[in-house]
Amino acid sequence: MLDDLVFNLKRIRTEIISIGILSLFIFFLPSAAQAGLMALFITKALFVTLGVLYAHGSRKFLFPYIEMRIAIEGHNLGAMLFLMAWYGVIVWAFAVGG
């Protein structure tokens, strides 16, 4: 279990380092800009997370017969493209506030 955690952290180390560097830059901004920037980060993260949850829940409810793992293992291109569009459009719409 610890090996899996370390492996997954190594996979996203570039993103973790980038987030760390950007977080350090926030301290050099004026306090009003810090508050606005933190509010932006929080709302964007919240909206994207809500979009993922909504897309997943609606797909499970509306299309329970499409299983992502089976589509990928079976090389079902149509189902994979549909799922990519389904998740992509819904997450994008939530992220831009629409």
Report pLDDT for 54: 92
- Output b/e per residue, 28-38; b: 16+ Cβ within 10 A: eeeeeeeeeee
Quickly state the pLDDT bin for 98 (edges 50, 70, 90): low
Distance CA 65, CA 50 (A): 23
pLDDT digits (tens, 9 = 90+) for 3-47: 888 988 888 888 889 888 888 888 888 888 888 888 888 888 889
Quickly state the pLDDT bin for 84 (edges 50, 70, 90): very high
Which residue would you say has higher pLDDT here, 15 or 86? 86
pLDDT digits (tens, 9 = 90+) for 52-66: 999 999 998 999 898
Q: What is the pTM of this model?
A: 0.64
Question: What is the helix (H) or strand (E) element at residue 58, kind and residue range?
Answer: helix 31-62
